[in-house]
């Protein structure tokens, strides 16, 4: 699990067929203080997270492939929840 902030949407005229019904978002991993940590990732989002909202990501590729229903999908990251409140100093 990883805490991240949604920084944008991906719009593509051509993409892997397993992404057709999914919203793709750019997520910047952040630390417990909200500072960026590492490189941004692209995740599938079924929760409808808005710009700059904090989300919880899963890097479990098998779970993400199960969500899209394609065993050979290139999906890796999955938004598993939207953070309503976050206590400073509490690690996810």
pLDDT (tens, 9 = 90+) of the chain, 92 residues, equals 899 999 999 998 899 999 998 999 999 999 978 899 999 999 999 999 999 999 999 999 899 999 999 999 999 999 999 998 766 666 65
Output b/e per residue, 9-38; b: 16+ Cβ within 10 A: eeeeeeeeebbeebebbebbebeeeeeeee
CATH of domain 2-82: 2.40.50.220
Q: 5: part of which helix (H) or strand (E)?
A: strand 2-9
Nearest-CA neighbor of 29 among 18, 17, 39, 19?
39
- Residue 63 near residue 78 (C-beta atoms within 8 A): yes
Give Cβ neighbours of residue 85 (< 8 Å, ≥ 6 apart): none
* Confidence (pTM): 0.86
The domain segmentation of the chain, as residue ranges, is 2-82
Give per-residue pLDDT as tens, 59-69: 998 999 999 99
Percentage of the residues of the chain whose pLDDT score is greater than 90:
79
């Amino acid at each position: 699990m990883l805490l991240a902030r949604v920084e944008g949407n991906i719009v593509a005229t051509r993409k892997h067929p397993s992404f057709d019904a999914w919203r793709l978002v750019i997520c910047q991993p952040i630390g417990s203080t909200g500072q960026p940590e590492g490189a941004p990732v692209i995740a599938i989002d079924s929760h409808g997270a808005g710009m700059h909202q904090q989300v919880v990501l899963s890097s479990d590729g098998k779970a993400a492939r199960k969500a899209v229903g394609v065993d050979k999908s290139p999906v890796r990251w999955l938004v598993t929840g939207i953070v309503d409140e976050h206590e400073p100093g509490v690690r996810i």
